[in-house]
Chains A and B, each alone.
Chain A
């Protein structure tokens, strides 16, 4: 079997703000079907690293390669293949769950797929309720329903388990497992241990990858 260039490879990534090194020489590798968990205490730069990976922040030094090509050369391709879920869910509280999901995924509101995704995140019957009437956890679920519909190769999830109950956590894990089985990849940051087998962990403190390969 010929081993092609890995899906995402990060070389010597640094990010500096106000003369403080926030991300210092991070090297990472991620192949198809792999999941990588970014670890580190609060303030260790997890969110910054994920934002660098989404290209929302520009690194001070170092490079990110997508399938062997530098990000600057394949920005469109990379971002088309990317799904990012940040701290804030990007859910508009004045819109209904259905409208939000339709906006985020670019599918029409009457789409069957959309309604079944909302069913799966246990928002049956809430689809046309404005989101300000939903709880924080329910709003988070609206955003997570994106994961069920998306056909992106690479998921970058910042604290996906925040504000979720144990059922919700299981749901997200299930989602990620299906994505991995389909050849997709996941980068996530979380404090909780992830109950999945093949998780590799990258610690921002000792800058090393641990876990199964």
Chain B
């Protein structure tokens, strides 16, 4: 009966819902900046040392920020019964799922990418590294969002699923982290950084193709029981 089951409908609705509670968008961003500030305090303010580890730190913080925000991806839909309604819609639920994940990326991955130069500045990342880092983050956080959504779907019915989500998703993040921070590191070292970026793009393509399918079958399993 519900005809609002397309990609755009869900993207629009989730953006509208998030727009009504903007605090939720700000939290991962503030976490991202705050946590990275601690690294020079805990290690050294030495610019030479910081610049080597800056890409890695930025990527680990982006990973944590994505994971922190992922729990809420399906939580409210699960609690108020919207997810159950989605499951009995006549259409395939792959596109709605992709719409929801896109909304998640637009409100976490994209803002993280946009504020990352600020972190680069704090962690004395050489200016050559800014553009590659942002390009890497833009593509890589897409993968992070898709995989986090899979974890969120698996743990949606669990009362304290947040930590478990982190546990099961983190090992899957390994390739994204490796190639993501390599993109920035290559450019700092003066190497061609488009190589690792292309691999990130390939991973994103694979994730877009497979994750929504996996997420929809997982939701069928975990939502109703």
Contact = CB atoms under 8 A, between A and B. Distances in A.
Interface of A: 17, 51, 54-57, 75-77, 79-80, 82-84, 86-95, 103-106, 130, 150, 152
A90 B84 contact: yes
B93 to A, nearest CB: 11
Contact of A79 (B13, B80, B88, B220): B88
B2 A57 contact: no
- 7 closest pairs, A vs B, by CB? A88-B81, A106-B3, A79-B90, A90-B81, A94-B20, A90-B82, A90-B85
Contact of B87 (A56, A80, A87): A56
Nearest to B5: A106
Contacts of B87: 56
Q: How large is the interface on B (under 10, 10 to 19, 20 to 34, 35 or more residues)?
A: 20 to 34
Given A56-B224, A95-B17, A83 B80 contact: no
Contacts, number: 67
Interface of B: 1-4, 13, 16-17, 20-21, 76, 79-82, 84-85, 87-91, 220, 223-225
Contacts of A57: 224
Nearest to B20: A94
B60 to A, nearest CB: 32
A80 B1 CA distance: 5
Contact of B88 (A54, A94, A104): A54
Contact of A86 (B1, B17, B84, B89): B84
- The B interface is mostly helix, strand or loop, or mixed, namely loop
A90 B81 CA distance: 4
B110 to A, nearest CB: 21
B17 A94 contact: yes
A73 to B, nearest CB: 14
Given A56-B84, A84-B85, A93-B80, A17 B17 contact: no
A80 B4 contact: no
A104 B16 CA distance: 15
A163 to B, nearest CB: 13
Contact of A88 (B4, B16, B20, B80): B80
Given A88-B84, A94-B21, A103-B13, 4 more contacts: A57-B224, A79-B90, A94-B17, A130-B20
A47 B163 CA distance: 30
A91 B80 contact: yes
Contacts of A92: 17, 76, 80, 82
Contacts of B21: 94
Nearest to B224: A56
A104 B2 contact: yes
Contact of A89 (B13, B81, B89, B225): B81
A164 to B, nearest CB: 17
Contact of B90 (A75, A94, A103): A75
A55 B87 CA distance: 9
B107 to A, nearest CB: 14
A75 B82 CA distance: 20
